Amino acid sequence: MKRMVEGEDPQTFLDVFEVTAIASRWPEEEWGARLLPLLVGEAQRAVLSLPAAARKQYANLRHAILDRVGSIPEDHRRRFRAMKLEPDGRPFIFTYQLRDAATRWLQPNGQDQKMLEAIILEQFLDAIPTRTSAWVRYHSPSKQQ
């Protein structure tokens, strides 16, 4: 697993760490020790501010990191609005990334799905190349649903 990068979303990093830990079948009591060397910046300072005994439990580390550096909805909104499809990016995967970012930002309940879809579509159209966006807009995706 790679080290955390300064400015990386701590929630996403921890989610990837947990998936890796489960897939690698690491014993849960080792997660804290395995996570510590991967942290940088504020996340690392948050963990090091804990008493030594508390650092042994992954749940304590996760809570400390998200409490100190965890993203507030405004941070998630900024990340969502800044997302762009890379030149070699795949639109299908990009839409999943947009959905994940929008869900973290808006935290919708079941009734907000149409609003969530509209916001994702808006960001998708702004984030893809201009010619592709024009083609998609011409074919009116919102009217086809």
Q: Do 64 and 80 belong together in one domain?
A: no
Q: Do 47 and 79 belong together in one domain?
A: no
The domain in which residue 33 lies consists of 10-69
In a domain, 53, yes or no: yes
Q: Structural domain tally of the chain?
A: 2
Q: Tell which of 19, 39, 69 closes a domain.
A: 69
Q: What is the pLDDT of residues 63-108, one digit of tens each?
A: 889 888 876 777 788 888 998 988 888 888 889 889 988 887 888 8
In a domain, 144, yes or no: no
In a domain, 17, yes or no: yes
Structure tokens at 134: 């024009």
Confidence band, pLDDT 50/70/90 cuts, at residue 143: low
DSSP-derived 3-state class of residue 35: helix
Confidence band, pLDDT 50/70/90 cuts, at residue 109: confident
In a domain, 20, yes or no: yes
In a domain, 143, yes or no: no
